Amino acid sequence: PLVSMTEMLKKAKEGKYAVGQFNMNNLEFTQAIVEAAVEENSPVILGVSEGALRYMGLEYTVAMAKAAAEKADIPIALHLDHGSSFEVAMKLIGAGFSSVMFDGSHYSYEENVKLTKKVVEAAHAMGVSVEGELGTIGGTEDDVSVAEEDALLANPVEAVQFYKETNVDALAIAVGSAHGVYKGEPKIRFDIIDAVSKEIDIPLVLHGGSGIPDETIKKAISYGIGKINVNTENQIAMTEKIREIFANDSKVYDPRKYLGPAREAIKEVVRDKIRLFGSNGKA
Ligand code: G3H
Ligand code: ZN
């Protein structure tokens, strides 16, 4: 069955590794992510943005995640990514999501606390975990778009306070990463991660995990990042593989002939990330 993130993230913080959230975009993504996690004996989080939800349909999304969890002997969470409202979060919990993110980062601090707290109280009563967000993460992901120059780093004092006031299970803070493809090398503020992580007992979440150098990821984990979100790298792996197949064979028409290899390409990215994050063998 699908489980909340609470237990897997608690263990990650204690063991100083990170659990990957890989976004689901269709069936092939779901299979690739779960197969890689099973083979690596790793806990895993299936992230679903509201845009991806509209694309796949709520019923198909939950059914695919449940089918994957049914035969997998590892902890799998089905998690709403960047949830926009209390109503959306409640609807998805009702449909079978085991975890939700409420992204109130575009509200004032007070409003963000108030709304996040409301989601936490309702979700926890149903055994569902909640991720909150503070500061604004740059770049574009489906409905959420923030110009790089408007991205605001999280204030460490505020972040600690936010955790204490809301009781979230994981906290995403803006520390210099961005959604999508990076223009230059991202400058991650390890000092902010360190200052916040020391004061709270839940892991911090790094969004925009695609395209960050391995050493930077490892360092971020050592300072307290316990959940890392990856989507763009998987999308690129899938699309590049399909482009390659089309370039070599202009007659191919059976989708299985290119979606199958594309699924393998995603699986290899997920496997590499799981090993990099150190969650292999931790299921
Ligand atoms: O919430 C999802 C992630 O932050 C994904 O970011 O597409 O840059 O890997 P990414
Ligand atoms: Zn994100």
pLDDT of 230 strictly over 90: yes
CATH of 6-277, one of 3.30.70.260, 3.40.50.620, 3.20.20.70, 3.40.1410.10: 3.20.20.70
Q: Report the complex ipTM.
A: 0.98
Does the pLDDT at position 57 exceed 70?
Answer: yes
Q: Which atom of ligand 1 is nearest to the CA of 81?
A: 1
Instruction: Please say if 191 is a catalytic residue.
Output: no
Please give the Cα distance from 246 to 130 (Å, whole number). Answer: 42
168-218 pLDDT per residue, tens: 999 999 999 999 998 788 999 999 999 999 999 999 999 999 999 999 999
Task: Return the residue whose CA atom lies nearest to atom 10 of ligand 1.
Answer: 208
Which is the closest atom of ligand 1 to the Cα of 210?
9
Cβ–Cβ < 8 Å for 149, 178: no
Alpha-carbon separation of residue 124 from 76, 92, 118, 145, 168 (angstroms): 18, 14, 10, 29, 9
Tell whether the model's pLDDT for residue 140 goes beyond 90.
no
Per-residue pLDDT band for 150 (boundaries 50, 70, 90) equals: low
Please report how the helices 86-95 and 109-125 are oriented relative to each other, as an axis angle in degrees rounded to 10. 20
Q: Is 40 exposed, middle or buried (0-12, 13-18, 19+ CB in 10 A)?
A: buried
Average pLDDT over residues 216-244: 98
- The pTM for the full model equals 0.96
Residue 18 is encoded by which pair of tokens? 């990170």
The annotation places the binding site at: 82, 103, 133, 179-180, 207-210, 229-232
